[in-house]
């Protein structure tokens, strides 16, 4: 097993994030610093992360959090800001599946299952995620077509979303968009490019799972059936 996968299966971070962590000098193999994410871990190897021995998690869990605003979606923050892991109380090392930016609220999944993490974040699986937006005015048919077809959002990237619903009341609209890939701050960049003022952004649905009655700052463990639904998505 590659070292980055070993860290992922141990609940440290995603495989991609594990690459960076390993190259930052966080990981030792048999008492020696290892900077190679592709190192092949043997059964007899002793792996330390930040000075503590780690092993792949046997008991897999997936948590659903209703993320509040002003909370960072990361494993650790170098600026001392509160992260989603400061909210979660569990003996298992869990990591966020994807990210919500600091000001975005709503449904965030966390897990110690590296394989599920990989399944849900790999672009080829196109996992659907729904967002509720509060915007100024109303997007018109031309803007809807642009969003559906794809809009250049900078940094050599195109943003794209399905428009599922739009309700307008007193000069503001509630807009429901569906993403299937999710680039960094994609919805905010999309709205900026089509010149729409965005007031609030909240994720409400992930691969068919919904927040339900979960309040901001609360979290719960997913059932086996819900986890199966995640595996079947895409």
| Catalytic positions | 101
For Cα atoms 3, 5, 11, give the angle at the middle one, nearest 5 degrees.
110
The tokens describing 84, both together, are 């989603």
Contacts of 226 (CB under 8 A, 6+ apart): 62, 209
CA distances to 13, 164, 178, 197 from 93, in Å = 9, 35, 29, 38
């Amino acid at each position: 097993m590659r070292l980055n996968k070993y860290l992922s299966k141990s609940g440290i971070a995603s495989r991609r994030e594990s690459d960076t962590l390993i190259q930052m000098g966080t990981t030792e193999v048999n008492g020696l610093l290892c900077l190679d994410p592709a190192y092949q871990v043997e059964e007899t190897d002793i792996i330390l992360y930040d000075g503590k021995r780690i092993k792949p998690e046997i008991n897999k869990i997936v948590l659903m959090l209703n993320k509040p605003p002003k909370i960072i979606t990361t494993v650790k923050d170098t600026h001392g800001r509160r992260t989603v892991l400061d909210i979660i109380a569990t003996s298992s090392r869990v990591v966020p599946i994807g990210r919500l930016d600091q000001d975005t609220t709503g449904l965030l999944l966390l897990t110690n299952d590296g394989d599920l993490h990989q399944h849900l974040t790999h672009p080829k699986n196109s996992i659907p995620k729904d967002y509720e937006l509060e915007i100024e005015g109303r997007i018109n048919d031309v803007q809807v077509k642009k969003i559906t077809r794809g809009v250049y959002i900078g940094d050599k990237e195109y943003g794209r979303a399905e428009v599922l619903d739009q309700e307008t009341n007193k000069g503001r609209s509630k807009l429901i968009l569906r993403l299937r890939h999710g680039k960094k701050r994609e919805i905010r960049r999309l709205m900026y490019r089509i010149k729409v003022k965005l007031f609030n952004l909240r994720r409400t649905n992930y691969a068919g799972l919904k927040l339900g009655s979960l309040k901001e700052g609360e979290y719960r463990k997913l059932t086996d059936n819900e986890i199966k639904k995640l595996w079947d998505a895409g």
